[in-house]
Structure 1
Amino acid sequence: MGDPESVRTRLRVLEAVTDSALRELDLDKVLEVLLWQVRDLFAVDTATVLLTDADGEHLVAKAASGLEEEVFQGVRVPVGVGFAGQVAQRREPVQITHVDESTVINPLLWQRGLRTLLGVPMVAQGDLTGVLHVGSTTARRFTDEEVELLQLVADRLAMAAHVHRARSERAAATMLQDSLLPSHLPAAEGWEMAARYVPGTDSGVGGDWYDVFELPDRRIGLVIGDVVGNGLPAAIVMGRLRSALRAYALEFADPAEVLGKLDRKASHFEARSMATVAYAVIDLATSRMELARAGHPPPALAVPGRATGFVDTELGPPIGYHLGVTGRRSTGVDLPPGALVTLYTDGLVERRGLDLDSRLEELRQVASSTAPEAACARIMAALVGDRPADDDIALLTIRHSPATDRS
């Protein structure tokens, strides 16, 4: 532990993992630089980093020095299986001195002639990001100090991978969200629309969405939804649900039936996902709205000459997990001239430390029968104001214009 060579090695490892120049490099370059240094510092023949995939069920070769074929051939190792899989599952160092098909599942390792392998887990902020392993073609036993030093390198790589993944996922989620939100709202004579979307400061971009689309026979479909979760996984599920709902909306006129089909699809193909959705169809010829809700808060309805209230409609279970097996029902609502419908996600009305009922009452009071753009501005000013939202907010308003506005 205290011999001069050991002290020099420790210092060189510490210098490598704390080099400030690494902060300026992207993940691929950080891996390349540190793996090359690992081979030199630990006098090994190979050094490889495998990162967890999106589901966390497999390790995928991301970078290698001395055995680049692992990356070129896209080596994948199930967590819990083989040498690297055991390192990942145990989250502790594993050393083996016999390398063949009985101890590893990647034939490249024994074909390379490796006789000894040492692997350590890469963990950042409690999350497994991958495995770092080194190999030697000569028989040797890695010392406890070498294991400890390799773990230091793995910890540095784990943080770099964690930061890279977080940034990449946030950027991808933002791009996906932007591409799926309507770039413009459809124009329909006698009807006005406006919308807002604001990502939450805590959750980042997630699974909230709104959608408006024209349907056959002079009808308009309106959707407001919220996928449980946040980040890229929630945004991906949101995109799939949005596309599926649009497809079902063309085939089925009843919003409840559309949500039933969506529930079946999500329960089967998005087995670990859940969402709340409100879907409405407005018949422009009759000015009547059919509405169905799947675990989503009720829209506010403001009609001239009446007190603003929330649409009284049956609340069905959320989408997913086969919760809607008993069927869903739609409710019909007349929208006379001047009527304003306000659909929203729970990020608008839910705030830490504030009573939900009082927030809903505040929404009811400000969601008056005005032009949709003015209504959105008033609602956001009253319920968001100068306090950043904890969760995503999606807001959609539509108004049946009074005849005087159309003259």
Structure 2
Amino acid sequence: MLDIPSRVRVHVETPLAAQNDMGVCDAFEQYAPVREPDTMNAPHPPKVAGIDSTVPSPAHTVAPAPVTTGPPAVPAAPSVSSGPGALLTDRLAGWVSDLTTLHELTERLARTDTLADALQELLRAGAALVGARRGLVVLEPADRLGPDTMIGLGLGRADLGHIETVPRSALSYGRILEGLPGGEGEIAEPDLFAEDGLDPRHREVAARLGYAASYAMPLEADGGGGRLGAAVWLYDEPAEPGERQRHLIGLYVRYAAEHLARLLEVERTRACMRTMTEELLPSRLPRVPGVQLAARHRTGPRGGGDWYDALPLPDAALGLAVGSVTGSGPSAVAAMGRLRASLRAYAVMEGEDPVAVLSDLELLLRLTEPARSATALFAYCEPALRKITLAGAGHCPPLLLGERRTEFVETSVSAPLGMLACWEAPSVELEAEAGETVLLYTDGLLHRTGEPTDRAFSRLHAAAAGVPKSLRHDPGAIADHVLRTLLPDGAAGQDSDEDVVLLAARFE
């Protein structure tokens, strides 16, 4: 960028992209320093990294004086694109272009809602700003609480593995992350192979991957967040960003670090909720002769109250249960844990009578947590006889899957626990044939389809009926097939406010 005379100073202040429409960082302060007037057409510094077309350089409108021969021409009217005003126009056009580009890039970054997507967007935008083709970002929060990850742009996993074999002290991002001398800020290595004392392993990896220069920047969050990691962009030939490019990438990375810090806290909260939920659910399913078990559970980002259980009972019996507690978050997870623990105790004492088990559970819920309701289904199984006695409280009916039939078990209609002054509903008995599987699930499985309830039940029935015969001997394969069919395109693993529980029991 060219300099502006001291009598002309432009200040453009723009807040964070998340706070207004400009989409740039805290302040775009005094973009051009105040110096003495320079020549009208100052040449660009030679041999620097070219900037991507998404960040256009301002075009100079001052054309050289034409060389003419013969009689002098008639003087023309003054052109609006000549003189000092044209230079100022070029400067302002360049700044507007830069602001527009930063606005677009930060808006794209702000639309990312996962840490992995934000890191990928950071690499792509940074590569455009500094004129690089490849790069990598290393996330290692200074508080050592994780998550730690490395993501590449234009680099495969094998390439990242090769880079990790280089001693950290020899890598620019390693010096930043380890706080070594020279790693306090940006690190430009315009010609790696011309550097004296380049680590032999680094030289070998750079030659193998085909990069000759690098530019690294730390990712630091303001407000005491500390260092989050470092980003590195790689050049195929000796090069380095120019002054204008460094200014733009500095503004962008400053905003990106704040966005990453927010997503990092969200990711940690989600991981904590998943851990809490998993610890309150069975770590493994019991092995009971005559029946095979498999369970699939997906927790929402805020933590939900869906749960399942399978426990051996006296006389070689087996108790199966699924349920859902209203609400989400830590309180719902804690209530789910208490409810499941209580049901286990009641099942051991009177599991052969599922109605009594749910009646005791309803009384406990009404006395201890009167503001909360829950649905539940408990089944008392006798594997040797392939006999099942079950009762449900406001819960979805089980689905029976076999070679000759795929049908929902008809259960009595009843209210959820805690909704009535006294709950009681009759139990239902059924006998499964050899090789048949009973699917117990929560309503979150139906809600995630986005369909009305009747259509969601129809889709679940069709998904179960469509399980290939080659998979019907494995309850885990049956559960996976139902999830993939009912929630295609990875929807079962995506974040959703609805938990998913699917418990499959195959009788031999």
Q: State if a TM-score over 0.5 links the two structures.
A: yes
Q: Distance in 1 between matches of 2:345 and 2:266?
A: 32
- Indicate how the Cα distance of structure 1 residues 164 and 247 shifts in structure 2: closer, same or farther if over 3 A, else same: farther
Match of 2:478 in 1: 375
* Alpha carbons 2:307, 2:323 under 8 Å: kept: yes
Q: Distance in 2 between matches of 1:356 and 1:389?
A: 21
* Alpha carbons 2:373, 2:416 under 8 Å: kept: yes
Q: Distance in 2 between matches of 1:182 and 1:208?
A: 13
Match of 1:394 in 2: 501
Give runs of aligned pairs for residues 128-143 of structure 1, distance below 5 A: none
SS in 1 for 2:311: strand
- Indicate how the Cα distance of structure 1 residues 336 and 352 shifts in structure 2: closer, same or farther if over 3 A, else same: closer
Query: Residues 126-149 of structure 1: CA distance to partner in whole angstroms, max 9, x if unpaired?
Result: xxxxxxxxxxxxxxxxxxxxxxxx
Q: Distance in 2 between matches of 1:278 and 1:209?
A: 11
- Could you say which structure has the greater relative contact order, defined with CA pairs below 8 angstroms and 6 or more residues apart? 1
Match of 1:300 in 2: 399
Query: Residues 361-403 of structure 1: CA distance to partner in whole angstroms, max 9, x if unpaired?
Result: 12112224712111111111011222236311011000112xx
* Alpha carbons 2:294, 2:505 under 8 Å: kept: yes
Match of 1:12 in 2: none
Question: How many residues are aligned here?
Answer: 246
- Indicate how the Cα distance of structure 1 residues 234 and 305 shifts in structure 2: closer, same or farther if over 3 A, else same: same
TM-score, scaled to structure 2: 0.45
Q: Distance in 1 between matches of 2:222 and 2:266?
A: 21
Q: Distance in 2 between matches of 1:189 and 1:195?
A: 17
* Alpha carbons 1:363, 1:383 under 8 Å: kept: yes
Match of 1:263 in 2: 362
* Alpha carbons 1:172, 1:232 under 8 Å: kept: no
Deviation at 1:285, TM superposition (A): 2.8
TM-score, scaled to structure 1: 0.56
| Residue 344 (str. 1) matches residue 435 (str. 2) | no
* Alpha carbons 2:449, 2:486 under 8 Å: kept: no
Q: Distance in 1 between matches of 2:281 and 2:305?
A: 11
- Indicate how the Cα distance of structure 1 residues 274 and 344 shifts in structure 2: closer, same or farther if over 3 A, else same: same
Deviation at 1:22, TM superposition (A): 2.1
- Indicate how the Cα distance of structure 1 residues 20 and 175 shifts in structure 2: closer, same or farther if over 3 A, else same: closer
Deviation at 1:165, TM superposition (A): 10
Letter in structure 2 aligned against 1:331: V
- Indicate how the Cα distance of structure 1 residues 21 and 353 shifts in structure 2: closer, same or farther if over 3 A, else same: closer
Match of 1:146 in 2: none
Aligned counterpart in structure 2 of residue 183 of structure 1, from 256, 277, 283: 283
Match of 2:416 in 1: 318
* Segments of 4+ moved more than 6 angstroms: 162-169
Q: Distance in 2 between matches of 1:352 and 1:398?
A: 23
- Pair member with larger Rg: 2
Q: Distance in 1 between matches of 2:448 and 2:278?
A: 25
Match of 1:335 in 2: 432
* Alpha carbons 2:437, 2:504 under 8 Å: kept: yes
Query: Residues 99-123 of structure 1: CA distance to partner in whole angstroms, max 9, x if unpaired?
Result: xxxxxxxxxxxxxxxxxxxxxxxxx
- Indicate how the Cα distance of structure 1 residues 396 and 294 shifts in structure 2: closer, same or farther if over 3 A, else same: same
Give runs of aligned pairs for residues 192-231 of structure 1, distance below 5 A: 192-201=292-301, 204-231=302-329
Structure 1 gaps of 5+ residues are 1-18, 26-161, 402-407
Kindly report the root-mean-square deviation, in angstroms, between the aligned alpha carbons of the 2 structures.
Answer: 2.8
* Aligned-pair identity (%): 36
Match of 2:18 in 1: none
Letter in structure 1 aligned against 2:499: D
Q: Distance in 2 between matches of 1:243 and 1:194?
A: 20
Structure 2 gaps of 5+ residues are 1-219, 227-261
Deviation at 1:348, TM superposition (A): 0.9
Q: Distance in 2 between matches of 1:256 and 1:165?
A: 44
Q: Distance in 2 between matches of 1:250 and 1:180?
A: 18
Match of 1:249 in 2: 347
Deviation at 1:209, TM superposition (A): 0.8
